[in-house]
Amino acid sequence: MYVKKDLISIIVPVYKVEQYLERCLQSVIHQTYQNLQIIIIDDGSPDNCGKICDHYAKLDSRIEVIHKENEGLSVARNLGISKAKGRYIGFVDSDDWIDKHMYEHMYQIITEKKADVCICNFYNVIAEENKIKNANKGIQEYNKIQILREILLDKKIQSYAWNKLYKREVFHDVVYPVGKKYEDIGTTFYLLEKCNKIVVTGEPEYYYFNREDSIVNHNTEQTILDYMELVNNRYDYIEKKYKELRKYNEYYLTKILLTAYADASKLENMGEQLKKELRQMNKKVKGIVQKNEKEIYSFFGKKQQKQLTDLLSLNEKKTRKKKLITTTHEAVVNPTITLSMDPQLGSI
């Protein structure tokens, strides 16, 4: 007996990716899972992306194209969610591509396991070389607290929007933060805390294209301020609501402080607002380390432990931040830390 499969809505925000867009759209329309609503948001792209989107809409009746003025990735994703009709929702960034079996596999897993979200592994594509991001440990199941802990550890599971298949209802009352970079930091945690069961498959089926000109590889003062604000807000939220996640929450904030100093050190000029925010986060982390020094240091390697000591002036009162800023480049965790937002983020 034939059983009709659920509709999956795939949201593809598009902006200035003319040379990569067809590769992305080809991978989406050729999915072995056919019952798709493909929502393409042309976010005011100044190149030929709009024409390419319209061309594909003529080729495939499942494609819906929305042309709008440029307002950023969060607005584009939020608009796509509002137009989604599917039982499930997924995202594909328009410079990336996906394996032809990705949504079929994820749908099978999420339905068989009766889960709220399915997460797949991915390839980090650098200079045409595909590197698997996380170890393939088969299919693993997590409850809410377990998955939130993994998001904060940011090692096996990251906050990226795009390697996940979500039940549509988890987006109720959750939106991507408008006007912010690293928007996944301000969203994914809050989506996952609404879930009872999350399944993770170690099979890599998403291809994350690590472009040299990506936000992750070119932080500005504003992007640093953005991720610091999102992480600070999330830290305060978790501190009040999830006592069992305290040490992981403190670890992530500490790691972000190191990353922020490393990113700031690459700026030609640092504004007063960023200096102020760095001082405030430094003070907050210093208070955390003074209470739980051994526990916090246990999360880091020797180089980062030394950086943290210098930064907080725990052992050398004369240590100056200027010294740290000129030496932090080497050992800080990948700045893309999810700011478990891009794969690089996911590691902050």
Asked whether residue 304 is domain-assigned, the answer is: yes
Q: Which amino acid would we find at residue 141?
A: E
For residue 255, being part of any structural domain is answered with yes
Instruction: Give the mean pLDDT of 230-249.
Output: 97
Residue 126 has pLDDT above 90, yes or no: no
Q: What is the pLDDT of residues 2-58, one digit of tens each?
A: 467 999 999 999 999 999 999 999 999 999 999 999 999 999 999 999 999 999 999
Q: Are residues 250 and 295 in the same domain?
A: yes
Is 158 in the same domain as 226? Answer: no
> Rounded to two decimals, what is the model's pTM?
0.88
Q: Are residues 167 and 225 in the same domain?
A: no
pLDDT tens column, 271-296: 999 999 999 999 999 999 999 999 99
Q: Which of 147, 174, 209 is the last residue of a domain?
A: 209
Say how many residues make up the chain. Answer: 348
Do 65 and 200 belong to one domain?
yes
Q: Within this chain, do residues 180 and 249 fall inside the same structural domain, yes or no?
A: no
pLDDT band at 232 (very low <50, low <70, confident <90, very high): very high
Give the chain's radius of gyration (CA, Å).
Answer: 21
* Full DSSP string of 6-22: PPEEEEEEESS-HHHHH
- Examine the pLDDT at 147 and tell me if it is beyond 60: yes
Which carries the bigger pLDDT value, residue 102 or residue 317? 102
Domain boundary among 180, 209, 238: 209
What's the farthest any 2 CA atoms get from each other in the chain?
A: 76
pLDDT of res. 315: 41
Per-residue confidence (pLDDT) for residue 184, from 0 to 100: 96
* Res 341: pLDDT: 36
Residue 191 falls inside a structural domain: yes
Mean pLDDT score of the chain, rounded to an integer? 89
In a domain, 151, yes or no: yes
Residues 77 and 51 in one domain: yes
Please give the pLDDT value at position 140: 96
Provide the pLDDT confidence category of residue 217 given band limits of 50, 70 and 90. Answer: low
**Is the pLDDT assigned to residue 345 strictly greater than 50?**
no
Of the listed ranges 21-25, 33-37, 133-137, 158-162, the least confidently predicted one is 133-137
The CA distance from 70 to 84, in Å, is: 20
Cβ neighbours around 217 below 10 Å, total: 13
For the chain, what is the domain count?
Answer: 2
Q: Are residues 340 and 281 in the same domain?
A: yes
The residue among 100, 99, 104 whose CA lies nearest residue 206 is: 99
Listed in sequence order, the DSSP H helices in 84-220 are 102-112, 144-153, 188-192
**Contact call for residues 201 and 118 (beta carbons, < 8 A):** yes
Per-residue pLDDT at 312? 86
Q: Which of 173, 172, 177, 139 is nearest to 159 (CA)?
A: 177
In a domain, 131, yes or no: yes
Domain for residue 339, yes or no?
yes
What domain range is 21 assigned to?
8-209
Q: How would residue 213 be classed by pLDDT, with cut points 50, 70 and 90? A: low
Please give the angle made by the CA atoms of 325, 333 and 322, to the nearest 5 degrees.
Answer: 5
Q: Contact at 8 Å (CB) between 329 and 335?
A: no
CATH code, domain with 135: 3.90.550.10
Token pair 């472009």 is at which residue? 211
User: Looking at 209, 237, 255, which one is the last position of a domain?
Assistant: 209
Residues 124 and 239 reside in one and the same domain: no
